[in-house]
């Protein structure tokens, strides 16, 4: 483990679990963190039994960060000021709370100045 810590967006985990090389390279050797929103989004997908088992194993290997007052307040401000979806605002606020870069394929976060982003390109 390299000591690198990353907050990972839902879309990156989905692609990582599908064998995407860009995701694998970006996440390799890092301690992975996800927001509780990502956790819920992943569990909400249509999964067969084997996919669900793989997902549960994956989720057991990451740090799940639950919301708190700071995350909720920051998400509210981000939602109002940047007009982003509430789940994205909560994920961005979690990244800010932890002081960790957010790894994502999503361009919805680009307008948030105080957010560290590692943007992966499809």
What residue spans define the domains of the chain? 5-119
87: nearest Cα among 106, 101, 100, 69: 106
Neighbours of 31 (CB within 10 A): 15
Tell me what the pLDDT averaged over the chain comes to: 94
Give the mean pLDDT of 59-81.
97
CB of 116 closer than 8 Å to CB of 101: yes
Alpha-carbon distance of 88 to 58, in angstroms, equals: 21
- Assign a CATH topology to domain 5-119: Rossmann fold (3.40.50)
What are the beta bridge partners of residue 29? none
pLDDT of residue 11: 96
Assess whether pLDDT exceeds 70 at residue 105: yes
pLDDT of residue 2: 65
Alpha-carbon distance of 3 to 11, in angstroms, equals: 23
């Amino acid at each position: 483990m390299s000591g690198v810590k990353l907050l990972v967006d839902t879309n990156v985990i989905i692609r990582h679990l599908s064998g995407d090389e860009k995701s694998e390279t970006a996440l390799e050797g890092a301690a992975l963190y996800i927001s509780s929103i990502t956790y819920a989004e992943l569990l909400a997908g249509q999964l067969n039994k084997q996919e669900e088992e793989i997902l549960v194993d994956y989720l057991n290997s990451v740090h799940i960060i639950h919301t708190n007052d700071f995350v909720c307040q920051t998400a509210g401000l981000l939602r109002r000021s940047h007009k982003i979806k509430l789940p994205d605002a909560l994920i961005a606020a979690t990244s800010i709370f932890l002081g960790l870069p957010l790894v994502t394929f999503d361009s919805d976060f680009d307008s948030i100045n105080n957010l560290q982003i590692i943007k992966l390109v499809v």
